[in-house]
Amino acid sequence: MSALTNVFAALFKGIGTTYSFKDLSGALTSPLAGAFTFAGQIGSGKIVVENTTDHGVQDTSADGTVVPGFVAGDAGRITIEVQQTSMLHKYLLYWHNLHVTTATAGNIAQWAGSAMLLQNTVDGSKHLASGVTPTKIPDKAYDHNPGKLTWVLMAANLVNL
């Protein structure tokens, strides 16, 4: 190693990969509401992807015998925190209302027809969700400061790519 390489190695020792929310991009597609593509700077504050299927389960009998089991499936939840005036919130509200109105009218064929892709260009992580449905419109505070709203979406299949 050259002396300059040694200096740089010493300076950057312990520094991990740089992270920025702006490196996140994605899309929510709906057969009813169309597609909305986004990047980290669209008024969102945080997106949390949670796999909710516990694959490993155990049953314990009265005598202490443990029977391990496997549960198939990849259900999940996507929690999206957005500014209440953002374009993403406006799309999610439109998407929610359109799907709920259509299902309430008796047409549930497209209720779980939405899909979402999230990808981070720096670390290469990707999540693909299908069978995406809304839970409810988020609670909203009328406050002296602008606020954030939290959307919770359910996914029948959530895959980490």
Reading the chain (161 residues) residue by residue, the pLDDT tens digits are 566 666 566 666 666 555 556 678 899 999 999 999 987 666 667 899 999 999 999 999 999 999 999 999 999 999 999 998 889 999 999 999 999 999 999 999 999 999 999 998 888 899 999 999 999 999 988 888 888 999 999 999 999 98
Q: pLDDT value at position 150?
A: 95
Q: pLDDT value at position 102?
A: 97
Q: pLDDT value at position 143?
A: 84
Domain range for residue 100? 24-54+67-160
Q: pLDDT value at position 112?
A: 97
Tokens of 91: 């799309």
Assigned domain for 6 exists = no
In this prediction the pTM is 0.80
Tokens of 157: 């299949």
Q: Can you count the helices (H) and strands (E) in the chain?
A: 2, 9
Assigned domain for 60 exists = no
Q: pLDDT value at position 42?
A: 67
Assigned domain for 13 exists = no
* Eight-state DSSP code of residue 85: T
Phi-psi region of 131 (alpha: psi -120 to 50; beta: other; left: phi over 0): left
Alpha-carbon dihedral angle through residues 32, 88, 47, 151, given to the nearest 10 degrees: -70
Assigned domain for 12 exists = no
Assigned domain for 120 exists = yes
Which alpha helices (H) appear in the chain, and where do they start and end? 3-11, 87-104
Q: How many domains does the chain have?
A: 1
Assigned domain for 126 exists = yes
Assigned domain for 123 exists = yes
Assigned domain for 111 exists = yes
Report the alpha-carbon distance of residue 44 to residue 9 in Å, rounded: 36
